[in-house]
Chains A and B, each alone.
Chain A
Amino acid sequence: MIAPDVAPAPVVTVPALSSRASAGLLEPVAFLVVAMGIALVEYFVAGLFADFGPSNFWLAFVVMAGWNAWHFAGAQTALGSLTGHYIATTDGQPASVLTIAVRQLARFGVLYALPIMVLDFNFLTALLVWLVVGAVVSRMPGSRAPWDLLANTIVVDGLGKRATTVELPPLHSAADLRLAPARARENRRAARLMLTAGSASVVVSVLIVWSIFTEAWAFVSDSEFEWGILSQRGWFPRSGQFDLSTLFVGTLWVTGIAMLVAGPVGLGVAFYLSEYATPKVRRIVKPLIETLASIPSVVIGLFAISFISPKVLTLFISDIGIFSILAAGIGVGVLTVPIVASISEDAMRAVPMELREASYGLGGRKVTTALRVVFPAALSGISAAAIVGVSRAVGETMVVFIAAGGNGVFNTDPVEQGQTITAAMASLGAGTDQIAGSGIAFQSLYFLGALLFVMTMLLNILSDLIVRRFRQVY
């Protein structure tokens, strides 16, 4: 048995935080100078792009990245030469021209191109983004910024002033398994690609938060906006009435009714499938109920107005209309059943057999075992199921949009028509509220989106916490 020959962890010195931050502060200045220079050249050459705008910045990124890589092949960037910073690869060696170019392009892309070009910031806002992202994320001592991860680099200190010593993770290179360079390269490239794909979700989150909250802020800071318009009874965006309580009452009713349907039914199904059903029955019943989850919500919306209202609810309430909060709530409940059922069933099945056997051994009956042993043991998962169900019900749009009637009058009677947060958003988006592509009514769409996002996010975090906090580890 040959012990793997692992290379020792290289030790490098990383510039102190303050030193790196001050070096970074110079960067936007350099960019501004380069971009202005390009604008100036354009002005004299073409006279066309006289505007000092984003296109100049695009060019500036490329110029800066190219310049850095070409001129400072000794593993130093333009600003690094002022502050004595070097770019090293993670094995402590100076980075190559290509590596620096990749790192700088990624860095400029995240810090400058993304805010200005893609997100349509003006330069001042982009500067602000740079300050936050650049100063906080990229300059944590010892850890590496996203672009450093992409290019597999680290910033090291050439002057040795106020430096921190960092031990890099050891390189797993068994010497007896000498790898062909091409295979090793391919391996590294694949790892980088996977990380990039993995960060896609983070990018999406940032885009969601950013796009929604800037527009929501635009709504709140609009000149027509005052907090009073959020509490004049009724939701009529066209006439400037943005009463949140109208929507909250509708949302509460729909969610409450949905949970009244989905809670007992879902829990009953879960109990049956986990405790009573034979494997054969389970194989048939479980997919059948999961079919419900794959039915598009528009179809359930149609079902609500063509079946639930006219065929079921009229049996109990003679004067109910086709469109009502009640029908919408039941429709949402139908959609929520499989979610509650499958999450709680998973929780119940995770309860170890020994607990049930102990209960039987003490003479417990099946019902006692289910309710007094399995239920408490699975309670964290079951409450998580309930919360996820609530969060789905709050966010469900199409059923309510189709079946609740979309009347914005303040109303606490579920037999009447009503409006929820999501349905109000759908109406705004669908243009049924007759609004153009701008103005305060349109921005209220984002305001509601922000509210909804925060609400469901909190619910999801809560369910996560419950599961983690109260999960019994068997």
Chain B
Amino acid sequence: MAASSPVDLDQLRARRGADVRGQIFLILLLLSVALAIAMVGAVFYDVIVQAWGILSDRLWDFLASPSSSDPEKAGVAQGIRGSLLIALIVMATFPIGVAGAVYLEEYAEDTWVTRLIQVTVRNLAGVPSIVYGLLGLAVFVQGLRGITGGSSVIAAGITLAVLVLPVVVITSSEAVRAVPGSLRDGAYGLGATQWEVIRSQVIPAALPGILTGTVLAVARAMGEAAPLLVIGAAGFYTTGNNDFLEQFQGAFTALPMNIANFAREPAQTWRGHAAGASVVLLVMVFFLNLVAIIARARISKKLGR
């Protein structure tokens, strides 16, 4: 033992040579990260620069006026209204998704019913959004015309609610799964029924996670244009003196539809409108995210965690 000389680390390192491949690899990785971040930056930069003219010129007018064939007058009021209504309808259907997630995580035993539900949820999450448009067209626009009134904001809202249902189920499932079993055991030990355990322990503990997932789902629903195209959203429509029902069952449009229509106008003047509408949509989506973050923080605080 005494004869062996101590290992000379410096000598070992020198014999190994410089880590050229490692350096090149790291540079490539940093390049791809930089490229991805540049994409995010470029999107925001481009949209804001394009929208600057119209937003600094006539911000309020742009937000408050309906669509028009005159670039000087056209605005996104109808789109904002449509998108908000759609968001409301989508939110109203969230309990179904959350309940489905609770079923899968808390009740389901390994039966063919459970497996069928799991497989369909996973597959539905991967179905392209335009296919949901076809479903909306066939079932909600044509099949249930009596309730939805045809191509209406109700049909659009239900279609988008169906579109985000799998997302809601999957994210809520993850939130419910993350609730520690000790919480459940404690409540069971006090004699609570399964439903009481779920209502008083599982759902409150999972609520921050559920909320994040559902807000992301609303954001996604608000940004979808393809299903709306298929179920026949108008580019713009003329508003008369609509009665209450017609507000929901009549012609409608939404912000993504506005953007798509402005963007497809051949004249360059409309590009600014498209960018302006994009900024409005992005602001709405980020505002939603902000609300979710704040709500999440408050709930977590209330739960004492």
Contacts and interface: CB of A to CB of B under 8 A. Distances in A.
Interface of A: 118-120, 143, 146, 149, 177, 179, 183-184, 186-187, 190-191, 193-195, 197-202, 204-205, 207-208, 211-212, 215, 264-269, 271-273, 276, 285, 288-289, 291-292, 294-303, 305-307, 311, 334, 337, 341, 365-367, 370-371, 388, 391-392, 394-398, 401-402, 422, 425-426, 429-431, 445-446, 449, 452-453, 456-457, 459-461, 464
Contacts of A273: 33
Contacts of B106: 194
A456 B127 contact: yes
B248 to A, nearest CB: 20
A445 B134 contact: yes
B77 interface: no
Which of A186, A190, A266 counts the most chain B CB atoms within 10 A? A190
B162 interface: yes
Contact of B143 (A118, A292, A365, A388): A118
A199 B193 CA distance: 23
Interface string B109-121: 0001100110011
Chain B contact-residue range equals 35 or more
A226 B134 CA distance: 23
Given A337-B39, A456-B126, 7 more contacts: A184-B193, A208-B131, A215-B134, A299-B47, A299-B278, A425-B130, A429-B231
A187 B107 contact: no
A404 B127 CA distance: 22
A460 B19 contact: no
B99 interface: yes
A456 B46 contact: no
A184 B193 CA distance: 7
Contacts of B131: 208, 212, 395, 449, 452-453, 456
Given A201-B166, A401-B260, A289 B37 contact: yes
B28 A298 contact: no
Contact of B263 (A184, A198, A288, A402): A402
Contacts of B116: 202
B208 interface: no
A187 B191 CA distance: 13
A193 B99 contact: yes
Nearest to B162: A204
Interface string B208-229: 0000000010011011111001
A401 B194 CA distance: 49
Interface of B: 19, 21-22, 25-26, 28-33, 35-37, 39-40, 42-43, 46-47, 50, 95-100, 102-104, 106-108, 112-113, 116-117, 120-124, 126-135, 137-139, 143-144, 162, 165-166, 169, 191, 193-196, 198-199, 216, 219-220, 222-226, 229-232, 256, 259-260, 263-264, 271, 274-275, 278, 281-282, 285, 289
Contact of B165 (A201, A337, A371): A201
B259 to A, nearest CB: 4
A149 B103 CA distance: 13
Contacts of B39: 292, 334, 337
Contact of B138 (A193, A215, A305, A401): A215
Contacts of A307: 42-43, 46
Given A429-B137, A457-B123, A285 B196 contact: no
A119 B142 CA distance: 10
Contacts of B225: 296-298, 397-398
A371 B99 CA distance: 43
B293 to A, nearest CB: 11
A448 B247 CA distance: 33
A425 B31 CA distance: 37
The 8 tightest CB contacts between A and B, nearest first, are A395-B128, A268-B32, A296-B223, A197-B99, A211-B138, A429-B230, A194-B103, A198-B103
B195 A187 contact: yes
Contacts of A396: 128
Contacts of A453: 127-128, 131
A316 B122 CA distance: 41
Contact of A191 (B121, B122, B194, B196): B194
B138 A198 contact: no
Contacts of A301: 259-260, 263
Which of B21, B112, B229 counts the most chain A CB atoms within 10 A? B229
Contacts of A149: 113
B271 to A, nearest CB: 6
Given A187-B194, A289-B40, A269 B32 contact: yes
B190 to A, nearest CB: 11
Contacts of B133: 425, 429
A271 B29 contact: yes
Given A184-B193, A296-B223, A398-B226, A204 B124 contact: yes
Contacts of A459: 126
